[in-house]
Amino acid sequence: MLFADVNFATGVMLLEYDTGADPRAQAIAAVAGAGHGVEPLVADDVLIAEPTWWVRHRAEVTVAASGALIAIGWLLGWLGAELAATVAFGLAIMAGGAITWRRAAVSLAARTLDMNVLMTIAVSGAAAIGEWGEGATVIFLFALGGVLESRSVARTRRSIRELMALAPERARVLRAGAEREVAPEEVSLGEVIVVRPGERVPLDGVITVGASAFDESPITGESVPADRAEGDRVFAGSLNTTGRVEVRTTAGAGETTLARIVDLVEAAQASRAPVQRFVDRFSRWYTPVVIAGALALAFGAPALGQAGAPWPGFEALPDWIYRALVLLVVSCPCALVVSTPVAIVSAITRATRDGVLVKGGAFLELAGQTHAVVFDKTGTLTEGRPAVAEVVPLAEQTAEEALWLAAALEAHSTHPLARAVAAAGAEGAADITVDALVETPGRGVEGVADGVPLVVGNVAFVTERTAAAAASAAASATGEALERAAALEDAGLTVLALARTGPDAALLALIGLADTIRPDAGSTTGALRASGIEHLVMLTGDNEHAAARVAAAAGVPEYRARLLPDGKTVAVAELREQHGVVAMVGDGINDAPALAAADIGIAMGAAGSDTAIETADVALMRDDLAALPGFFALGRATMTNIRQNIALSLGVKALVLALAVTGHATLWMAVFADTGVALIVIANGLRLLRTR
């Protein structure tokens, strides 16, 4: 059994077959026989040999020969040697159409009608009615356009090949205390590799020795090198700029982040956006209709014009046949067919360079139609890490001194809130001696700090520890402290309390913590609103007060709080009904149902998450929101580009078609309307490679 999958965007054909019968050589020969260049990606003596110079440059040579013969034909015609000129034009047709004829034959054998068939009929008809010069010029220009088109589209393919080439061919692995250079495929999972300054990382891994700055732009799109030290991840293809490091590998050669990006981008470029599928369907019935129309024009028009006259007497028949040939050439759907894929492939390549992994052209199309963007709160608009936001002193200590005391106790706990307090007061806590430390998991920590018995933890836990010793005055102070704690909670903060225990128990301070807003959250939401996305919504499982605080700080006008995962899914569905196309931005791991319910699920920080890369529709490789407005802008630019291409293709064709029917168009004008417009469309699509 043989299965062949051809990715025209990347120029790769994948063959799947039974091992008992190896059809590779025959398949490659069939592709070459249809006039396409072909070469194996992997060296294998079973496959055909490396293509010769002639195979690689056949199209260019035949086009050059055709052009030279046309020039000779014109010269001979000017000298009055009409027969010799006709022979030169005939040879020019044979040279320029060598590939076109073969492809037309393959199409007819497969019972399909494509642009090669149309061009073959048109040139043959031109020769049949004696228009040898025009026929030769038409096939020359068509073949020249094909060569230029191939070179233009190859620019987008080169971008992916350049990405693949970033992974070094050799890795320096530590074995038995010595460095050995081997192919990355030979490095086992968990082995240690050495990366020197100026070298690219061959495999994903974690730094075990050393520190350096790494240029991760091929992965994340970030142009500024990122500092990485022991325990940090590094990615294959990133450039080590300053120091020698040792890296323990975490992925094989074919499973690195870079390899997955290349695979997914190639698959995305092969996928078709809805507008592209429409163009493909349109082209399938368009060509037969054009041929039928040309036949009707060639033979029906003179019949209508000379009613009652016998057929052999049609003196105007050659003129109508010429008009029909012009119609055939101008109706070739070259420009229309390439109007969409070139724009889609260019946009996907541009997005990848900017650190945005788009899974297919359909999501670029949806990005251009998006009216609402939904954000998860924790880890998306916020850093996902609590930090001290406010310290309220209640006794003789200052806010700073109270924070130092709390940090001295919390430094010995692993609770996320404890780590936040310890980090905030680390400078002053270093000089405080702590003894007799006791932690009550999930509630708080007790100990003796510089001889003073203290407790820090949630408000309920701390008041329990101080209530037994509290006198009436202390009880009154405790009541006031609880009111202040409630006010902090109403402001969306998580509150911890610090108290002195023992005979003179007293509350010393309240510490309010909050998830830190991402520095780029406000600028991102502002850019989205400025770009025309009318509705920004935040969804969170947090309480109403915390949600309001984060939404206000991030510039999100609408939020929904206390939502469970299924509630977020329902909210996304409601927003789709209200606003149309909805994109949701999350961290790629949590809230998966809501991401799936949105038209576009966007995961951020995907460079460090295998799950996000595999499951998201769109993945922001960096752990920030900076690339988000650019993605939606690229989607709108892509759809504008496609509409421009389609309008130009159909508009020029309609004009020349009208001129053809009235007899005012020539075959040369028809070639421009077909091949010339196709080249303009390709150039317009390639502009997206430079879109920022």
Positions marked active-site:
376
Token pair, residue 377, equals 């709160």
Of 571, 564, 563, 569, the residue nearest 537 (C-alpha): 571
In sequence order, the 6+-apart residues with CB closer than 8 A to the CB of 389 are 493, 512, 513, 514
In sequence order, the 6+-apart residues with CB closer than 8 A to the CB of 501 are 446, 453, 454, 455, 465, 466, 469
- How far does CA 197 lie from the centroid of its chain? 30
Q: How big is the CA angle at 660 (ends 659 and 663), to the nearest 5 degrees?
A: 85
CA torsion 307-308-312-314 (nearest 10°) is -30
Token pair, residue 466, equals 């101080």
Hey, what amino acid is at 501? Answer: T
Sheet with 171-175, strands from edge to edge, namely 178-182, 171-175, 192-195, 245-249, 205-209, 233-234
Token pair, residue 482, equals 């609880």
- Residues 337-374, buried b or exposed e (16+ Cβ, 10 A)? bbbbbbbbbbbbbbbbebbbbbbbbbbbbbbbebbbbb
In sequence order, the 6+-apart residues with CB closer than 8 A to the CB of 464 are none
Using an 8 Å Cβ cutoff, are 342 and 142 in contact? no
CA torsion 436-437-439-444 (nearest 10°) is 110
Q: What does the alpha-carbon distance between residue 227 and residue 210 come to, in Å, rounded to a whole number?
A: 11
**DSSP run (H or E) holding 223:** none
Token pair, residue 456, equals 């820090």
In sequence order, the 6+-apart residues with CB closer than 8 A to the CB of 287 are 113, 114, 115, 117, 118, 331, 333
| Residue 263, phi then psi, degrees to nearest 5 | -60, -45
Of 248, 213, 209, the residue nearest 230 (C-alpha): 209
Query: In which residue are the tokens 């019968």 written?
Result: 21
Count CA within 13 A, CB hemisphere, residue 83. Answer: 0
Of 536, 629, 531, 550, the residue nearest 584 (C-alpha): 536
Hey, what amino acid is at 38? Answer: V
Q: What does the alpha-carbon distance between residue 86 and residue 97 come to, in Å, rounded to a whole number?
A: 16
Strand partners, 535: 372
